[in-house]
Amino acid sequence: MKPDMSVVLLSASPQRKQSLSGMLAEYGWTAFACGEPAEAYRHVLQLFERRDAAPPLFVLTDVDPRSRTVVSSLRTLFPATGIMLVHGTGGEPGLASCFQLGVDVWAPETASAELLVSMLLGLARRQAVWQRREAPSPGSSTVASANWTLGDQGWVLVSPEGVGMPLTTGERAFLSVLMSAPEKKASRETLIAAIHGEFEESPSEKDRGRLGVMISRLRRKAEKYGLVLPLKSLRNWGYMFSGKA
């Protein structure tokens, strides 16, 4: 199987993002360079859901608390993701603990392009054994609460039992509006407008049907996580989130 040539890159340094993106591009890789965790989560999720074979590759350049949280979250939500850290010289405090959080391979900042690409290809070959994505196992490290909540800036729906389910851009917009609405009820028009606002698009006549399709897919995805979404259709009007939130 041919390795996927897409990489999600997270770095707080614009110079590092530009340097690594250019380096990878020279070797035929497509790098989605991100400066914020929410943006990185979105790209990982989109790549993960788009492909039926190898999960995405993720590269980061920092070991600050924010980056460590991202690594831990990715390993929990997307356990098959290959994670590479390009940082320092090897003696930095906290570097070793990054492997405990979920980093697969490390390279120093001075590593050559050939070495970085070879290491990424190694990760890609390892991931190619996934002929199809494994169904996510119920449960995560998220702390349980009595309510349904949206975590990681709204990109993860967390059940009262602590099960975390990653969301697409449209799903995030849909649930954010619904769960924050008065009585957790919203009309179809409101929900459609919220979803299209995320994509900076104008709603069309076909979007009522598309909303129903998205909700059906969301329910099926939740089942893979062992969840039953508390969504109710309000006839000829909209939807209600009936769970405690």
**Using CA atoms, how far apart are residues 12 and 34, in angstroms rounded to an integer?**
8
What CA–CA distance (Å, rounded) separates 12 from 29? Answer: 21
User: How many other C-beta atoms are found inside a 10 Å radius of the C-beta of residue 237?
Assistant: 12
Does residue 94 sit within a domain?
yes
- Say whether both 102 and 19 belong to one domain: yes
Is 144 contained in some domain? no
pTM (predicted TM-score)? 0.55
- The reply to whether 77 falls in a domain is yes
Would you say 69 and 47 are in contact if contact means Cβ atoms under 8 Å apart? no
Q: Which pLDDT score, from 0 to 100, does residue 184 have?
A: 93
pLDDT at residue 208 in the model: 63
Q: Of 173 and 130, which is predicted with more confidence?
A: 173
Do 154 and 117 belong together in one domain?
no
Half-sphere exposure in the Cβ direction for 166 (13 Å, CA) = 21
Q: How far apart are CA 174 and CA 239, in angstroms?
A: 10
Token duo for residue 58: 């993720």
What is the phi/psi pair of residue 72, to 5°? Answer: -60, -40
Write out pLDDT tens, residues 180-190: 999 999 998 88
Domain containing 229: what range? 149-241
Q: Is 143 a member of any domain?
A: no
pLDDT tens profile 209-243: 778 888 998 998 888 888 899 999 998 899 999 99
Q: What is the domain count for the chain? A: 2
Model pLDDT for residues 98-125, shown as the tens digit of each residue: 888 889 999 999 998 889 988 988 888 7
Using one digit for the tens of pLDDT, what is the confidence trace for 56-66? 799 999 998 88
Residue 174 sits in a domain whose CATH number is 1.10.10.10
Please tell me whether residues 26 and 96 are part of one structural domain: yes
pLDDT digits (tens, 9 = 90+) for 70-89: 888 887 777 778 899 999 99
